[in-house]
Structure 1
Amino acid sequence: MNAFTIEKWYYLYDYLTRKAGKGMGMRKTIISFLIVGCLVSFVFSVYFAYRVVHEHAYLPFQPEPSASNRYRIAVISKDTDTPFWSEVKAGVRFQANRLRMDILFYGSYRPNPSELLKNMDIAIASKVDGIIVEGMDTPEFAGKVLSALEKGIPVITIATDSPSSLRRAYVGSNDFQDGVKIGTYIKQHLSGHKQIGAVLGDSVNSMENLRLKGLISALKDDADLQVVMAEPSDVNDVNQEINSLLNEHPQVRVLVGLTSDAGVGIVKTVKNRAALAGYSIYSFDDTPDIIHLLRQGFIKATLQQQPRTMGEKSVSLIGQWLSGSGLPLENNYFISSNVIVGEGEK
């Protein structure tokens, strides 16, 4: 129906008029028919236009370059509005204001790796000048980084790295050294226990593996100490992992969660199995849940990071790359972290 143009309606009208002669009644009928036809055609045109706009609403709007020539930087994470990422954003905004950059934040309200990859596609299609992104050590993520570089868009990973990708630099904690710090603290506070249980958590990437290597490294000079873990499972369930670990190694009384989720999970699982008394639990990261358990004495110590500094540094590095100053960039820019302990701990 949409294919009928005004010109075609006119030819149809002329043909019917000549066929019908000059009878006024027939002419009125034909005119009414043509008016109805035009209205139907118009309605279908509006409908199809709405379909096109509605179905492609997700496509990024590409504005004209601003008169001030400010750089446009995308900051992408798997989740958003957590205390950690709120601090990262604060650091990003502060440094972006100093360097006169425009920032576009992308994220979801719960960890969502597929959404992060989709947001990278949107940022690349939007022709941003640079991308700061929470890294993932997967082939899919490395492919997105390569796509950005092919468009001349530098990528810097923040908080978690993607060492197998072609990102320009990593800004965040030194995960191996963080594992060494926690391991050293645990070693100094062991009370006769010789086995330490390590819990990886739901998703395992380079961060957890580096923390585990650092933990083992800190304990390796004592031949009597041993780090034990649950047998690998096809089900990524932190509670199942903890229960399996305690079932396989019932003598374990020192437990380390290599992520904040694992730390919280250890406390909940041990509580459900037995009293927390007699267990020494350690974690990484200073999320509100971990700090709450630390203050209650359920967690002995954890690692405190500096997310605001990470945000500031990542924007500075993007600025260096785009301006061509201070190059080449280093491979890693480690932001220091420190052990914090609960009340009554030394």
Structure 2
Amino acid sequence: MMKRLILAAVAAAALTAPAMAQQTYKFAIVPKAMNNPYFDLSRDGCMKRAKELGNVECIYKGPVEHEPASQAQIIQDLISQKVDGIAISVSDAAAAVRVIKSARDAGIPVITFDADAPNSARQAHVGTDNRAMGRALGEELLKLRPEGGKYAMVSGGPAAANLKERVEGVRDALKGSKWTEVSGSPTYCNDDLALAVQQMQDLKTANPDLAAIVPVGGWPMFVPEAYKSFVNKNKEAMDQGKFSLVVADTLKVQLELLRDGYANALVGQRPYEMGEKAMDILMQLKKGEKVQDIVYAGIDRVTKDNVASMLK
């Protein structure tokens, strides 16, 4: 009898062992657009950190193109699937308020990365100090051309809070200098890479004496052949120091273009680290731990002097 009881207890323990195994979680990371290679780095950081944690699955899902309505629907679908946490690069800060509240009401932790929605119910933000990044872009231009001139900016979505802050940061840095912003700046490409290049050409055509263009995101450089075609038309002016390109982000393709003389300076974010940190913060929230409201991943300034080391 005793032997049967012991065997039964062992069998019961074996049956309950899987239930006692480490809790597993599904955390989703939602970019603004999946056709933007910038977000591939956040995806890679998310996947790496999820693998390291061992009990986390990283789900990477977003709209193919920059479409706030599509992003909201994808988040709603993730809520229906009862994922354990969501990190969002917010396309439209105002429009995201409702869907973020829906996720929180469903008991799902929500944070933002890259682009914030500070007036929403999100619990934390991991990204870049975008105003400081904008100032860095302006400062790099001032170093190149302290004598000033006319400049223009290219931005992404007009409703993206992070990009608004970068634009204002550039203006902060150039305020009181001899640089003046042309009418019609910034243009908005809505993360359409080809359109970003076209807008650069349109700005130069409309302002033949334009001395600099500052894209506050890397969009035009993400289509390198089209971008090089634009630069080649203005290469003589660039080589003579009469036309400058200071661009945001530091993806490998951008570093290579800078190395080859197709830009003067880059100011980059750290999207890979954002993907990693997003997983850690969601895990903390899932465990009921307190988290820091805003975490900055830092920025990198790159010129011809340090581009080789950055490529390594």
- Counterpart of 1:44 in structure 2 is none
CA RMSD of aligned residues (A): 3.1
What's the offset of the Cα at 1:250? 2.9
What's the offset of the Cα at 1:190? 0.8
| Superposition pairs of residues 183-332 of structure 1, within 5 angstroms | 183-190=138-145, 192-201=147-156, 205-222=160-177, 224-230=178-184, 237-238=195-196, 241-262=199-220, 268-269=229-230, 271-272=232-233, 275-277=236-238, 278-325=242-289, 327=290, 329-332=291-294
Moved more, 88-97 or 257-266: 257-266
| Superposition pairs of residues 1-346 of structure 1, within 5 angstroms | 67=19, 68=21, 69-80=23-34, 83-96=37-50, 97-98=52-53, 100-190=55-145, 192-201=147-156, 205-222=160-177, 224-230=178-184, 237-238=195-196, 241-262=199-220, 268-269=229-230, 271-272=232-233, 275-277=236-238, 278-325=242-289, 327=290, 329-342=291-304
Change (3 A) 1:204 1:138: closer
Q: 1 CA distance for matches of 2:189 and 2:114?
A: 26
Q: 2 CA distance for matches of 1:108 and 1:189?
A: 38
Moved more, 197-206 or 139-148: 197-206
Q: 2 CA distance for matches of 1:85 and 1:216?
A: 26
Q: 2 CA distance for matches of 1:235 and 1:258?
A: 11
- Residue deviations 1:226-271 (CA, integer Å, cap 9, x gap): 2334268899754564355335533221221112124667764454
Q: 2 CA distance for matches of 1:274 and 1:117?
A: 42
> Counterpart of 2:90 in structure 1: which amino acid?
G
Q: 2 CA distance for matches of 1:255 and 1:342?
A: 18
Change (3 A) 1:112 1:231: closer
Q: 1 CA distance for matches of 2:63 and 2:39?
A: 11
Moved more, 208-217 or 183-192: 183-192
Gaps of 5+ in 2: 1-17, 308-312
Change (3 A) 1:306 1:235: closer
Q: 2 CA distance for matches of 1:344 and 1:291?
A: 10
Q: Is the 8 A contact 1:74 1:103 kept in 2?
A: yes
Normalising by structure 2, what TM-score?
A: 0.76
> Counterpart of 1:303 in structure 2: which amino acid?
V
Q: 1 CA distance for matches of 2:41 and 2:213?
A: 29
Change (3 A) 1:186 1:136: same
Q: Is the 8 A contact 1:137 1:164 kept in 2?
A: no
Q: 1 CA distance for matches of 2:228 and 2:157?
A: 15
Change (3 A) 1:204 1:339: farther
- Counterpart of 2:10 in structure 1 is none
Q: Is the 8 A contact 2:68 2:92 kept in 1?
A: no
- Counterpart of 2:8 in structure 1 is none
Q: 2 CA distance for matches of 1:189 and 1:273?
A: 17
Q: 2 CA distance for matches of 1:177 and 1:123?
A: 33
**Larger Rg computed on CA atoms:** 1
Q: Is the 8 A contact 2:264 2:303 kept in 1?
A: yes
Q: 1 CA distance for matches of 2:268 and 2:185?
A: 29
Q: Is the 8 A contact 1:177 1:214 kept in 2?
A: yes
Moved more, 91-100 or 161-170: 91-100
Q: 2 CA distance for matches of 1:134 and 1:143?
A: 15
Q: Is the 8 A contact 1:78 1:115 kept in 2?
A: no
Change (3 A) 1:147 1:201: closer
Report the 3-state secondary structure (helix = DSSP H, G, I; strand = E; otherwise coil) of the residue aligned with 2:248: coil
Report the 3-state secondary structure (helix = DSSP H, G, I; strand = E; otherwise coil) of the residue aligned with 1:94: helix
Quick one: higher RCO (CA 8 Å, sep 6+), 1 or 2?
2
Gaps of 5+ in 1: 1-65
Percent identity reads 23
Normalising by structure 1, what TM-score?
A: 0.69
Q: 2 CA distance for matches of 1:169 and 1:322?
A: 13
Q: 1 CA distance for matches of 2:286 and 2:156?
A: 38
